[in-house]
Structure 1
Amino acid sequence: MIMKTKAKYLTAILFLASVVMYFVPFMGWERLQLRLFDLVQIGFGNKRTEEISRIVDNLPQSQMSLLGYVILGAMFAALVGAVLSVLLKKDAPYFATVILSVLINIVIVFSVLFMKQKMGQMEQVLKLNKTLGESFEINRNLVYIWIGIFVVNIAVSLLAIALPDKKRKKDTRIIYSEQPVKSIQRQYQDKLQIPVQQQKLENQKHLCPQCGNELPENAKFCTKCGQRL
C-alpha cells in the first residue's frame, strides 16, 4: 500500500517525467519529426529549419502563437505541480495534482489534434509543392505513454486522498490507552497501601515511657515501675 509521504514524491517524479516528454519528437514526417517544444518555438517565430519554415508559412501565425503560449503554459504548470506536490501539506498537493493533470492533458490532446487538423488540410499543398512527400503522422504510442503518466498521477493522488492519516490514529491510540492503565495502577497501589498500614499498626509495640518495659495493648499502668499510663 502506497503511503501519503511516498505519494508526494511519486507525483513530483511523474510531473518531471511529463516535462521531459515535451522534448521528445512524436509527430511529423519520416525525415522531419516535431516536438511540442518545437511548436512553442514556431509560435514565437523561431523556425528550426528551412523545411519547417516552408510548412509554418502556410499556417496562420496568430494561431501558432496562441498554441505556443498554451503549450509553454502547460509545461510550466507541470513544473509547478512538481514543486507543489512536495511543498504543500495534508491533502492540498493531491487536489492540485488532479487539477493540473487534467488541464495539462487537455492541452496535449488539443495541441496534437490541432496540428493533425492543420497538416491534414495542407497535405495536398505540401505534396504538390514537393516540400515533403510523406504524410503527416503522429506516434500514438508516445502519446499514450504521455497521457498514461498523467492518468497514473491522478490515480496516485486520489488514492492518497482516500488513505487515512496514520499519525492522527497513532496519537489517539496513545491518549486513550494510557488513561485506563494509569487508573488501574492507582487502584492497585491504593489496595496495597491499606494492608501495609494495618500491618504497621499491628507490629507497633506499647512501651512504658518511664522504664521502657513492654506492656499489653490496653494496660493502664506499668507492671514494673508502676507508672500510670
Structure 2
Amino acid sequence: MTGSFPGALIGLEVTRTLRNKKFMFFSVIHPSVIYLLVSGTRNTTGTVPGSDLTTQAFFMVSMASFGALTAVLMGNSERIAKERERGWVRQLRLTALPGIGYVLAKTAGAAIVSLPCVVVVFVVAASVRHVTLDAWQWFALTGLIWAGSLVFAALGVAIGYLAGGDAVRPITMILYFGLSILGGLWMPTATFPQWLQNISVWLPTHAYAAVGRSVGTGGAPEARDIAILCGYFLLFAGGAARLYRKDTLKA
C-alpha cells in the first residue's frame, strides 16, 4: 500500500492541474503566442548568432522550453505554498511517505502536465512557421525538453516549502524571469556581454535550451549540459526533500 501511494499522489496532482482551466490555458497557449510574436518579427532564413539553427527553429526550442518551465515552476511553487497553509502537510504526516517520495511524486505530476505545452509549440511552429525536422528530431526534442522540465519541477517544490503565503509568488517570479532571460530562452546568449555569458553557461536554463538546440541541428546533446541538468536536479530535489521534512516536523 505504501509503495503505491506516490503513484496515487501523482494521479491526484495531474487531475487537479487539468481541472485548473486558467492555469492550463496560460501554460499551454501562452508560450505558443509568444513564439508567434517573436518569430514573426525575425528573418525566417537567417541563423541565430552563436547557433546553427534558423531563427524559427531556435525560438521554437526556446519557447517549448519556456512553456514547460512555466507549467512546472509556477504551478508547483504556489500550489504547495497553499497546501501548507491548508494543513496538507499534517495529513501527509499520517502516511509513511518519505520526503524524497513526496518530492518525486510532485515533480513527476507537474512534468506530466508540461508535455502538452511542448507539443503545442511544436505543432504551431511546424504548421504556421513551417519548421521542418526529421521525425527522430521531433521525438527526441519532445522527450528531452519534457525530461529536462523535471529539474524545474523540483525547484518549484523547493520554493513552495522555502517560502509561504505572500512571499512565494514574488520569489517564484524573480527566479522565473531571471532564469529565462539569463539562460537564453528569450534571446541568444551570444548577444550578452562576455562576463554575463560566462555566468549564463552554468545556469540550468542555459543547459536546458542547449540540449534541445543540439538535437535541432541534428547533433547530440553535450555531456556538460546533461551533467549540469542532472546536478541541478539532485540539488533541487534534495533541498526540497529536506525542506519537506523540516516543515513536517514543525507541522
The alignment's TM-score, normalised by the length of structure 2, stands at 0.29
Higher strand share: 1
Higher helix share: 2
Larger relative contact order (C-alpha < 8 A, sep ≥ 6)?
A: 2
The alignment's TM-score, normalised by the length of structure 1, stands at 0.31
Bigger-Rg structure (1/2): 1
